[in-house]
Structure formats: C-alpha cells, structure tokens
Amino acid sequence: MPARSRSSFLAVGLLLVVFAVGAVVAAALLLGRSVPVVGGGGRIAVVPLNGVIGTGQGAVRALERFREDGSVRAFVLEIRSPGGSVGGSQSLYRELDSLRHEDDRPIYAWIGDVGASGAYYAALGADSIFALPGSITGSIGVIMEFPEFDRLMDKAGVRLEVIKSGEHKDMGSPARKLTDSDRAILQQVVDDTYAQFVDAVASNRHLPRDTVKALADGRIFSGVRARDLGLVDGLATFSEVLARAGRATGLGDHPQTVRPTERRVGILDLLRGVSQTRLEGWLASWTGWAGFGGGGAPRLLYQWR
C-alpha cells in the first residue's frame, strides 16, 4: 500500500475512533449515565442526595447503574437533604439495603449540612454512616399536612360538588373539614409509617426499640450528638469518607470517583411534556414543598421542616 494511502487510511480510522468515543460520551450525558473508564482502575461511585426527596428514583437509578459497573469498588451516598416523601425515602433505603446484602462492595453514607428524617432513613441502608460535627440529622418521625380552604371558598361563593363511593374517599380534601373518623384513619397511617421508621433505626443501628422511640419525637441532633447516641458511626469530612472507602478497597487515600450525570429540566422538556413526577421533584427541590401528591392529595412525609 502506498505511503499516502496508508496515512489516509490511518487518519480515517482515527477519526472513526474519536467519533465513536464521542458518541458514547454524548449518549451517556443525554441519558444521565456514567461514562465507563477505558483502561482505568477501580473507582468510587458517589451518589448525591440533594434537596427534598420526591420519588427518590434518580438516586435509585444511579445505584442500579453503578451496581452493574465492574470498575466501581465502593459506593458513597452524599447527603444534603431534609428528607421528603415516605415512598421515595423507603425506595432509596430498600435499594441500598438490597445492595448491602447482595453485594460485598462497601456502602458509605455521608451527611453534609443536613441529612434528616427521610434522608436519614435512606442512609440506614448503608454499611456505615458518617456526619460532620455540626450536621443536622435525626428528625425521626412522620408528618402529613394539607391546607383547608372551605371557609375561603364560602367567602368567595365557590362550592365543590363531590360524588363519592364512600364516606372517606375525599378525606384530606382542602374543600372540606376533617371529621373525627377521617382524622383517626389518617393518624393510623401516620402511626404505621412512624413504626416502620423506628423499626428501621432499631434494626440497622442495633439499638433497643424503646431507646429509639425515646429519640423519635421529631427532634433533631447535631452530628456529635448523633454519634454519641449511636445514630451515626463517626465524624468525618466528605474527603475523609472517600479516603476511607479508597483504603478499604485498595485504591488509596485519593481514589478516582464517578458521579451520575443529571440531565436538567429545560424549556424543551416543558414544551414536549415532561413527566409530572420529574417536574414535581424538580419543583420540590427548589421550593422545599413536597406536601402534595397527584391531584393535591395529602402526602406522608419523612421530612424535617
């Protein structure tokens, strides 16, 4: 083959390789996936949990993807959240707990400025939990709240006609007051999910249930106090937790990390019809309000207010 033809062939081949790598990276960014390291060593997967927890599916999907990544040697849940929905918090906890029992790679949870209520619930799925001395954590409890607009509607001359299949089908509707039986039913649901929280703390932190119940009145704790009570394993900065994970997996004090790439909600998403749950989660993270589910229904929250 002539030298010029050989050079042209190599140039075309190189361009094809560059194009292929670029396509993989672009696809990963668009899909919110991690980009695999070619020819690299092990790394630590960092999954952030920021703001109010909505469905929790963003962090769950990230864990599912990293779980299949053979280059990931350990997982770190990086928490800066006051908690949020009961369902989202429990989903993330169950994903971590499943990973912990089915995989031998270590899982760490680190609490930054705040990791309270549902965010703390999620952290219970990790092998160990660390916090800063001044982190806010705890807030073990459940809240359900919703507005009541019946008097305002009366003043405005507005009335909501309701046709329902049973007495309690519209309990929690802002258009009417709660009855005593409504309140008893909702209180039972709150009590049930509260008991689930207490049980999760007791079993995962190896504490007597009565001890946990004495702490589980919604109060918050500093990181130092949480350590002394056995709610967290120790005090550490995020860098120190990464170093701990690196040493435990043979990657040293400064391990390579990988994070999920989040796709932002933009104007095109709104024009194309972004999913309700995703938009609700985005709004909740900005406004701090996660008090409504679909259609304005009351919602159970593991959330520090």
Catalytic residues: 117, 169
Residues 6+ apart with CB under 8 A from 250: 42, 73
- Round to whole Å and give the CA distance between 288 and 282: 10
Q: In the sheet that 143-145 helps form, which strands lie side by side, from edge to edge?
A: 83-85, 299-303, 143-145
Please name the helix (run of DSSP H) or strand (run of DSSP E) that holds residue 47, with its range, or none: strand 43-50
Helices in the chain by DSSP H: which ranges? 3-31, 57-67, 86-102, 118-123, 150-156, 180-205, 209-215, 223-229, 238-248, 267-272, 276-287
Asked if 24 and 30 touch (Cβ cutoff 8 Å), the reply is no
Sign of the dihedral defined by the CA atoms of residues 159, 163, 168, 169, in that order: negative
Asked if 82 and 49 touch (Cβ cutoff 8 Å), the reply is no
- Round to whole Å and give the CA distance between 305 and 300: 13
- Round to whole Å and give the CA distance between 74 and 94: 17
Asked if 218 and 82 touch (Cβ cutoff 8 Å), the reply is no
Residues 6+ apart with CB under 8 A from 200: 93, 121, 124
- Round to whole Å and give the CA distance between 76 and 257: 10
